[in-house]
Structure formats: C-alpha cells, structure tokens
Amino acid sequence: MRAVSERRTALVARLQAQLGYQFEQQAILDRALNHRSARGVSNERLEFLGDALLDAVISDCLFHQFPDADEGVLSRLRASLVRDESLAAIAGVLSIGSLLRLGPGELKSGGARRGSLHADALEALFAAVFLDGGYKAADDVIRRVFADRLANLEITAARKDAKTRLQELLQAQGHPLPDYALVKTDGPQHKQRFFVTCAIDEPRSIVCDGVGHSRRIAEQNAADAVWQALTNEEAPA
C-alpha cells in the first residue's frame, strides 16, 4: 500500500509540473480524478464546468490566431481540438489514466483504458485549476497543454467540413456517397455523446467511427476518419 501511495504522490507531482500549476487545495485535484463509479464526490460537475472553460479558452486562442477565418472555420478548428480523441491523447501524455479513481465494475469493464473517461477527467482537471487558482490560472494551463496542437493547426483543412471533403473526393472518382448511421448515445444529459459510423463501399470498403456531443459533430469526425484512410492510402510512397 505504501508503494502504491508513493507512486501516486510521484504521479501527482509530475502532473502538476506538466501543467505548470501547483494546487493549493489538493481536495479539488482529488475530486477531478474521481470517476462517478468510485467512492466519494465524482468529477461530473467539474467536467461540466471544465468543458465550458475549455471552449472559451480555445475559442479565444483561435479568434486571435486566425483573424481572417469566419465563424464556420473557427468552429471546425475548435471541434478538432476539443473532441474526445484529442483530449484523450493529451490526457495520455499527462498520465491521467494512471491517476483516475474508478470503481470495481468500471475497472473490470476496461474503464482504465477508456479514452472518453480520460478526456472527461482532463476537462474536470481544468475546472479544478479554475476553482483553485482562478480563470487566469486555468487559461494558462489550457494554453500550455494545447500549445503544440495550436501551433501545428492547419486552417486549410477546416475551410471545408469533413463531410463535404469526403463527398467531393468520392464524387470526383465516380463512387457512391457514404452512408452514416447512428450507433448509440450515452453520457449525462448535459454532455451526451453520439456514436456514429461512416461507411463507403468504393473504391474499397471502409467503415469508421465518430464520436461527438452532437450527431452532426460525430458524423463530421467519422467522415474525417474515412477521408484520412482514403487519402493516406492514395498518397505516393
């Protein structure tokens, strides 16, 4: 038990170093890392607040980084940054999965490896920073962990949404249009997730998944995955 406690303490210290922020109230940090399946107060309320904070900070970053982009382009750029896959990747770098407390049932079902839970915990973490240190602290942390993604953001890909790009690519090659299907929805009412598939038969059979907080966003993410699969295969070696 002592070894486990020491390892967690070391991981918490490493997390705070990566964030560039030291918590004054460790209880708030602990709550951000407590899934609803575990004992104690869950991180769901913090996740709700962190989601709003993340949207506000990233919107501000994009507004100033791309002064000539219209609302549609900015919205698509933001969606690409704050979607679950991106958040889960950042959470992985921060080792949030190793710190997230889960109940026995969630652990047995593979929750420790579930990217969506890590993404939720990252949003809760942003809210915890806000409650502990104020908006400026949360703003600084979000900008810090998204710095590389913001620096490498390509605006050209966002000028057309993913569904349009995929449709035009298929039409140009004389292939049928893709089929979209809603697989399921889950999550709390304030942040419901939509799971969608995008499928094509030509030039070869491809089926990709997309997840989003609206069906439209989920379809865009699924279409983007199919488009990436096609264009990566067709690129010259």
Amino acid letter for position 151: A
Q: Which listed residue (47, 51, 219, 224) is catalytic?
A: 51
**Residue 101 DSSP label:** B
51 is catalytic: yes
Helices marked H in 41-111 = 44-65, 71-82, 84-93, 96-99, 104-108
Q: Is the dihedral of CA 133, 136, 139, 145 positive or negative?
A: negative
Residue 76 CA: distances (Å) to CA of 79, 96, 122: 5, 26, 21
Q: CA torsion 3→6→11→16, rounded to 10°?
A: 170
For 48, half-sphere exposure in the C-beta direction (CA atoms, 13 angstrom radius) is 9
Decide: residue 202, CB within 10 A, 0-12 exposed, 13-18 middle, 19+ buried: exposed
Cβ count near 148 (within 10 Å):
11
Cβ count near 94 (within 10 Å):
20
Q: Which listed residue (106, 120, 123, 161) is catalytic?
A: 123
φ, ψ of residue 51 to 5 degrees: the values are -60, -45
148 is catalytic: no
What residues are labeled active site?
A: 51, 123
